[in-house]
């Protein structure tokens, strides 16, 4: 039987999603909990890897098992062995041809940013931070230049393993609530560090250090050296993959509604 799980996690304490020799990744902790629950070694495949310090509001994983347990048992069982900053929210049986990564037709991220003269305190590690005022109209105009299919090489980390830098940006929304900004991105797929590199450029423009049209110049350069430095991971959240309706999977977890 193939199962899919919806998982949320706070990323501050972990070296990213993907398993590493340190054992200090979200995947390592999830697979250890599944092993304790099932007394079997279970390998998981995720919808989208996240870097160290990046959070997941609905990571989706799949795995195969010959155990027959009810859906709620696959939620409560692993959760009893997981640390408090990782939780399984739902479990669903899926067809054998479902693949958490390959079946996704899109992915969604949000970046939460505090604009304040004072650095974050209680929300430390959960939000990015700028102390200079931002121009929403300038950032909105710059974001429009990123929509559609483009070569995003200027926003790609050197260690990115994607086969092509060409991606389709479907949606960018920028909203403010009090001192907090929320930047939401949806694309068919993203490159390594792509969101954090886009954020670096949007904030340079928002602070008035570069004109709006500079974003188009960076995009056209297809050269990472043309863009702003990579922004902090703290406020970055993987909102989850987008699947076709016929898979019958939830499109969010309860953690999704926590964001400003």
Q: Is 51 a residue of the active site?
A: yes
Shared domain for 86 and 137, answered yes or no, is: no
Confidence of residue 114 (pLDDT cuts 50, 70, 90): very high
Residue 145 in this model has a pLDDT that exceeds 90: yes
Catalytic residue among 15, 28, 51, 234: 51
Shared domain for 93 and 111, answered yes or no, is: no
Shared domain for 52 and 96, answered yes or no, is: yes
Confidence of residue 207 (pLDDT cuts 50, 70, 90): very high
Q: Is the dihedral of CA 14, 184, 7, 246 positive or negative?
A: negative
Q: In this structure, is residue 259 part of a structural domain?
A: no
pLDDT of residue 258: 78
Shared domain for 94 and 167, answered yes or no, is: no
pLDDT of residue 253: 86
What mean pLDDT is reported for the chain? Answer: 95
Structural domain for 131, as ranges: 106-237
Say which CATH number the domain at 159 has.
3.30.70.660
The answer to which of 183-192, 205-214, 248-257 has the lowest mean pLDDT is 248-257
Confidence of residue 162 (pLDDT cuts 50, 70, 90): confident
Shared domain for 46 and 129, answered yes or no, is: no
Q: What is the pLDDT of residues 26-65, one digit of tens each?
A: 999 999 999 999 999 999 999 999 999 999 999 999 999 9
pTM: 0.95
Domain's final residue, options 78, 103, 128: 103
Confidence of residue 196 (pLDDT cuts 50, 70, 90): very high
Q: In this structure, is residue 93 part of a structural domain?
A: yes
Shared domain for 77 and 120, answered yes or no, is: no
Say which CATH number the domain at 74 has.
3.30.70.580
Confidence of residue 237 (pLDDT cuts 50, 70, 90): very high
Shared domain for 117 and 69, answered yes or no, is: no
Shared domain for 153 and 49, answered yes or no, is: no
Residue 260 in this model has a pLDDT that exceeds 80: no
Shared domain for 148 and 65, answered yes or no, is: no
Shared domain for 60 and 87, answered yes or no, is: yes
Q: In this structure, is residue 29 part of a structural domain?
A: yes
Say what percent of the chain tops pLDDT 70. 100
Shared domain for 233 and 110, answered yes or no, is: yes
Q: Let me know: does 134 contact 142? Beta carbons within 8 Å.
A: no
Domain's final residue, options 87, 103, 119: 103
Q: In this structure, is residue 251 part of a structural domain?
A: no
Confidence of residue 85 (pLDDT cuts 50, 70, 90): very high
Domain count, the chain: 2
Q: Mean pLDDT across the stretch 170-199?
A: 96
Domain's final residue, options 56, 76, 103: 103
Shared domain for 194 and 220, answered yes or no, is: yes
């Amino acid at each position: 039987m193939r199962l899919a799980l919806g998982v949320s996690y706070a990323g501050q304490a972990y070296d990213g999603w993907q398993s590493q020799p340190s054992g200090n990744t979200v995947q390592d902790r999830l697979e250890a909990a599944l092993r304790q629950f099932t007394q079997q070694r279970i390998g998981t495949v995720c919808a989208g890897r996240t870097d160290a310090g990046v959070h997941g509001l609905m990571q989706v994983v799949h795995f195969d098992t010959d155990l027959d347990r009810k859906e709620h048992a696959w939620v409560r069982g692993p959760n009893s062995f997981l640390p408090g900053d990782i939780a399984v929210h739902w479990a669903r049986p899926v067809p054998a041809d479902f693949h958490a990564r390959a079946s996704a037709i899109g992915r969604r991220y949000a970046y939460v940013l505090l604009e304040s003269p004072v650095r974050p305190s209680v929300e430390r590690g959960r939000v990015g931070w700028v102390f200079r005022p931002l121009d929403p109209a300038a950032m909105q105009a710059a974001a429009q230049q990123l929509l559609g299919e483009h070569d995003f090489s200027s926003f790609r980390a050197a260690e990115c393993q994607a086969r092509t830098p060409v991606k389709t940006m479907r949606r960018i929304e920028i909203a403010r609530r009090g001192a907090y900004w929320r930047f939401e991105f949806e694309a068919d797929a993203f490159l390594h560090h792509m969101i954090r590199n886009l954020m670096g450029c949007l904030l340079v423009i928002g602070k008035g250090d570069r004109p709006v049209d500079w974003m188009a110049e960076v995009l056209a350069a297809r050269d990472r050296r043309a863009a702003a430095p990579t922004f902090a991971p703290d406020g970055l959240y993987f909102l989850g993959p987008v699947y076709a309706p016929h898979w019958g999977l939830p499109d969010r977890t309860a953690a999704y509604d926590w964001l400003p």
